[in-house]
Chains A and B, each alone.
Chain A
Amino acid sequence: MYKLFLRSLISALFMLGFSLNANAEFKVGFVYVGPTGDHGWTYQHHEGRNAVEALGIKTTYVESVPEGADAERVIRQLAQSGHDLIFTTSFGYMDPTNKVAKDFPNVKFEHATGYKREHSNVSTYSARFYEGRTLLGHMAGKMTKTNTIGYIASFPIPEVIRGINAMTLAAQKVNPDIKTKIVWVFTWYDPGKESEAAQALIDQGADIIMQHTDSTAPVQVAEKAGVWSFGQASDMQRFAPKSILTSIIDDWAPYYVERSIAARDGTWKQQDTWHGLKEGMVAMAPYNSAMGSDLVKEVEQLQKDLASGKVHSFTGPIYDQKGNILVAEGAVADDGMLAGMNVYVKGVEGDIPQ
Chain B
Amino acid sequence: MSFDLNFIGILIGAIMASSVPLILAASGELITERSGVLNLGVEGMMIIGAISGFALMVVTDNLFFAVVGSMLSGLIISLIFGLLTQSLLTNHVATGLALTIFGIGMSAMIGKNFVGIPGKEFPLLFLNLKESIPFLGPIFFGHSILLYFAFGLPFLTNFFLKKTKIGLIIRAVGDSPTSASNQGINVTLVRYSCILYGGAMCGLAGSYLSLIYTPQWIENMTGGRGWIALALVVFATWSPIKVLIGALIFGGITILQLHMQAVGLRIPVQLLSALPYIMTIIVLVVISRDSRKIKLNTPTSLGQIFYKEK
- Chains A and B bind each other: yes
Q: Could you list which residues of chain A lie within 8 angstroms of chain B, going by C-beta atoms?
A: 35-39, 43, 64, 150, 181-186, 189-193, 195-197, 199-201, 203-206, 215-217, 220, 238-239, 349-351, 353
A-chain residues with CB within 8 Å of residue B184 when the two chains form the complex? none
Out of A39, A191, A196, which one reaches B254, CB within 8 Å? Answer: A196
A-B contacts, 29 of them at CB < 8 A, read A35-B219, A37-B112, A37-B116, A38-B218, A181-B262, A182-B261, A182-B262, A184-B269, A185-B258, A191-B214, A191-B221, A192-B209, A195-B213, A196-B14, A197-B258, A199-B14, A200-B258, A200-B259, A200-B262, A203-B7, A203-B11, A204-B259, A205-B2, A206-B262, A217-B216, A220-B215, A220-B216, A349-B264, A351-B266
Q: How long is the Cα–Cα vector from A350 to B259 in the complex, in angstroms?
A: 13
B-chain residues with CB within 8 Å of residue A191 when the two chains form the complex? 214, 216, 218, 221
| Contact between chains at A195 and B255 (CB < 8 Å) | no
| Contact between chains at A217 and B7 (CB < 8 Å) | no
A-chain residues with CB within 8 Å of residue B2 when the two chains form the complex? 204-205
| Contact between chains at B14 and A150 (CB < 8 Å) | no
Given contacts A183-B261, A200-B259, A204-B262, contact A192 B219 (CB under 8 A): no
Q: How long is the Cα–Cα vector from A353 to B219 in the complex, in angstroms?
A: 28
| Contact between chains at B118 and A196 (CB < 8 Å) | no
Residue on A nearest B114 in the bound complex, by CB: A37
Residue of B1, B262, B263 contacting most chain A CB atoms (<10 Å): B262
Residue on A nearest B218 in the bound complex, by CB: A191
| Contact between chains at B216 and A216 (CB < 8 Å) | yes
Given contacts A35-B115, A217-B214, A220-B216, contact A203 B266 (CB under 8 A): no
Residue on B nearest A197 in the bound complex, by CB: B258
Q: Interface residues of B toward A: which range?
A: 20 to 34
Q: Mark B241-268, 1 if CB is under 8 A from A, else 0.
A: 0000000000000110011011110100
Q: How long is the Cα–Cα vector from A64 to B105 in the complex, in angstroms?
A: 13
The total of interchain contacts (Cβ-Cβ below 8 angstroms) comes to: 88
| Contact between chains at B223 and A186 (CB < 8 Å) | no
Tell me if B18 counts as interface (CB < 8 A to partner A): yes
Tell me if B153 counts as interface (CB < 8 A to partner A): no
Kindly identify, within residues 14 to 61 of chain B, every residue whose CB is under 8 Å from any CB belonging to chain A: 14, 18
Tell me if B10 counts as interface (CB < 8 A to partner A): yes
Q: How long is the Cα–Cα vector from A350 to B112 in the complex, in angstroms?
A: 40
Q: How long is the Cα–Cα vector from A191 to B223 in the complex, in angstroms?
A: 10
| Contact between chains at B221 and A350 (CB < 8 Å) | no
Given contacts A197-B258, A201-B262, A204-B262, contact A239 B118 (CB under 8 A): yes
Q: How long is the Cα–Cα vector from A189 to B255 in the complex, in angstroms?
A: 18
Q: How long is the Cα–Cα vector from A349 to B223 in the complex, in angstroms?
A: 29
Given contacts A192-B213, A203-B10, contact A238 B118 (CB under 8 A): yes
Q: How long is the Cα–Cα vector from A189 to B116 in the complex, in angstroms?
A: 13
